[in-house]
Amino acid sequence: MKELYILYGVSWHVLKNWLKTISEDLGKRVSGYYNIRQVQLIFETFGIPGQEMTFYGGNF
């Protein structure tokens, strides 16, 4: 998870809350790691880190 919150530029707590919203689809980590399918779901849901994201009609 450390790599993900660093890539997204958010705190661990923020990423944890984001992942809670998709936890049912995401499933559990294996040995503390997300598999490729899980990372793909995270990128599809929250965007690829470093790309401009649009929320509620505004850009970030």
Q: Tokens 């809350």 sit at which residue?
A: 17
Mean pLDDT of 42-56: 80
Looking at residue 1, its pLDDT comes to: 83
Where are the chain's structural domains? 2-48
Distance between first and last Cα of the chain: 22
The one-letter amino acid code at 7 reads: L
Looking at residue 59, its pLDDT comes to: 54
Q: What is the pLDDT of residues 3-43, one digit of tens each?
A: 999 999 999 999 999 999 999 999 999 999 999 999 999 99
pTM score of the predicted model: 0.79
Looking at residue 51, its pLDDT comes to: 75
Q: Count how many residues are written for the chain.
A: 60
